[in-house]
Structure 1
Amino acid sequence: MIEDLLGRHDGVITGIQARGAGLSQDAIERRVRSGSWRRCSRGVFFADDRPFTDAARIRAAAWAHGDRATTSGLAAAWWLDLTRFAPDQVEVTVPRASNHPRRPGVRLRRRDLDPTDVSERNGLRVTALPLTVVEAAVRRGGGPKLMDAALQRHVELRTLWTAHLRNKGRHGSPAARRLLQAASDGARSEAERLLVSLMKQAGVTGWKTNYPVAGYEVDVAFARSRVAIEVDGLAFHSDADTFQRDRIRQNAIALAGWQVLRFTWIDLTEYPDRVLAEIRRATSGLRVGTRAHRG
């Protein structure tokens, strides 16, 4: 039973689990003294005959804070396969009334989670997928890409809003609300406001918003250089009908003799310098070609 537990739990085991599998406290201590088990924290051990992987590190960090501790943030995102790389610091959410000390490599969040917002995967308590997405997307190293990918493959927008509203006031809540608004029905207008703000701060002039071209209103137009800019919110291309309509619109604008640049919310938030450089190049008369969305 001990080897089975260690195999399923990345080499990590708690004293309670070990005693439940038949080991006495003395037997546990003998393993520690012999070096076959490493003590990670009080009551949490690692069998040192295997690599101490990221999964073992995250599991040991969470279990060090008791059976009510829940892995959250980017650590939960990695555990749920939303991100490729495990974070250096493990975020753990514990009940508000808990008195666990802070540990190196762990960021504690103290709040009481609704049972709906907790799930279990491979024997570890983690925040449920919707809450994980809205929290991890605003952590350093998360970003709009995480939410965009989740919306396209894993979750519906309404479930993200529900999880967000159920957890208002948590760390990062205002930033999560802005991302959710960018993915909502007003996604295009949210992204347009972001582009306008970006251009104003950079001193770019000569443009108008909602400018008529070929029977459509383009988001931002430089009429003198005949450059049209179209912007999209998060996961705009998850709707096939919208995707097709946007392509018909873009082709009509291009056939009317306008150069079309297309930017996504991720372009505007992650690569603003590149966006501005492409706008300046296009409006200066140097053709850059029609820019389709980079899926």
Structure 2
Amino acid sequence: MEPITHPSPAAPPALAALLRRQAGVIGRAQARAAGLSPDAIDRRLAGRHWVPLHPRVYLDRTHRPTDEARVRAAVLWAGDDAVLSGLAASWWHGVSPALAGDIAVTVPRRRSPRNRPGVTVRRRDLADDDRTSRYGVPVTALSLTVLEAAVELGAAGGPFLDRALQSHVGFAEVARAYTRNPGAAGATAARAALAATAERAGPAAVRLLVSRLREARVIGWRTEHPAAGVVLPVAFPQARVAVEAEGWARPLGAEARRRTLWRRGVLARAGWTVLTCRWHELATRPETVLGQIGRAVAPGRRAG
């Protein structure tokens, strides 16, 4: 940036407060609403106290050009009903650790602003459930955000979605966001990402269950134990107790639910007790899961 040639004009209190809230970013309409005349705005621009970031959107030179400023400027430029979306929205929600690449904004279909350097515009009408506000910036809701970000990431989207589902948002919420946007660009990839995540979730939960059992020095259990014509991921054969671990993602579709009910019915008729624990419980409250298992199996199965 070029150096400021004159002292910065004093800002009215309302304008100064707005600049602080918006990381130094200001729209021309906002400046007018805060009490500046068109001439006063133009003098700030002519003196390089304000520098244009986008048409009618400026950065006050007393503030650094941060990533936050970039985000706020992009959404402010995009105008009425625009929301931050994609990977930039994921960063804004605190899911992605860094802001990289262009900033995506989604605008209603009735509007047609063109892409700008550093800003990608998407045209789509969003449901109210897919919109929210965070730190004063309109942004896609977390469930839609992680789904769109996973699609943007391509091959890296699967691990990203797994981490987001483990720590930030539930699978059911993300699945509902998908169903609200079936015709959106990337919908096929989103469906594939959700299906793959559901398939990975169960084995991840079983691995965590096994880890918790080993940490607690529980004995008497086996993995991949055959019983009643099915294979049990974790079983206590002497007590005829099977422990099934559900991941952060529920399997998609009625067929998967039917298979689960059939499996549990077969085991019950063979005299097995089936316990179900969830990934979230294993991750945050393992003592609750271990206590449930301990009450179900015969006494004396914990090593001294």
For this structure pair, what is the TM-score category when the shorter chain's length is used for normalisation? 0.5 to 0.7
Equivalence for 1:37: 50
Report the aligned-residue RMSD. Answer: 3.2
Equivalence for 1:180: 194
Match of 1:134 among 132, 147, 167: 147
Return the offset for 1:213: 5.7
Q: 1:186 to 1:53 in 2, by over 3 A?
A: closer
CA distance in 1, matches of 2:197, 2:38: 53
Does residue 114 of structure 1 match 2:127? yes
Match of 1:167 among 173, 181, 189: 181
Does residue 240 of structure 1 match 2:282? yes
Does residue 25 of structure 1 match 2:41? no
**Which consecutive residues of structure 1, in runs of 5 or more, have no partner in the other structure?**
190-211, 220-231, 249-295
Equivalence for 2:24: 11
CA distance in 2, matches of 1:113, 1:29: 36
Does residue 65 of structure 1 match 2:107? no
**How many residues are matched?**
216
CA distance in 2, matches of 1:234, 1:179: 14
CA distance in 1, matches of 2:122, 2:281: 36
Deviations for 1:145-179, whole angstroms, at most 9, x for unmatched residues?
A: 33222222222211111111001121221222122
Q: 1:148 to 1:239 in 2, by over 3 A?
A: farther
- Please state whether the residue corresponding to 1:87 is helix, strand or coil: coil
Alpha carbons 1:9, 1:122 under 8 Å: kept: no
CA distance in 1, matches of 2:149, 2:115: 21
Alpha carbons 1:182, 1:188 under 8 Å: kept: no
Equivalence for 1:217: 231
Alpha carbons 1:37, 1:48 under 8 Å: kept: yes
Equivalence for 1:270: none
**Which consecutive residues of structure 2, in runs of 5 or more, have no partner in the other structure?**
1-13, 204-223, 234-245, 250-277, 294-304
TM-score, normalised on structure 2?
Answer: 0.63
Alpha carbons 2:166, 2:248 under 8 Å: kept: no
Equivalence for 2:160: 146
CA distance in 1, matches of 2:192, 2:48: 50
- Please state whether the residue corresponding to 1:162 is helix, strand or coil: helix
Equivalence for 1:78: 91
Match of 1:104 among 112, 117, 136: 117
CA distance in 2, matches of 1:155, 1:183: 13
CA distance in 1, matches of 2:22, 2:186: 31
CA distance in 1, matches of 2:167, 2:153: 22
Return the offset for 1:234: 6.5
Alpha carbons 2:158, 2:196 under 8 Å: kept: no
CA distance in 1, matches of 2:195, 2:86: 20
CA distance in 2, matches of 1:161, 1:143: 15
- Please state whether the residue corresponding to 2:39 is helix, strand or coil: helix
CA distance in 1, matches of 2:69, 2:136: 12
TM-score, normalised on structure 1?
Answer: 0.64
Match of 1:47 among 60, 72, 82: 60
- Please state whether the residue corresponding to 2:26 is helix, strand or coil: strand
Q: 1:12 to 1:34 in 2, by over 3 A?
A: same
Equivalence for 1:286: none
Structure index of larger Rg = 2
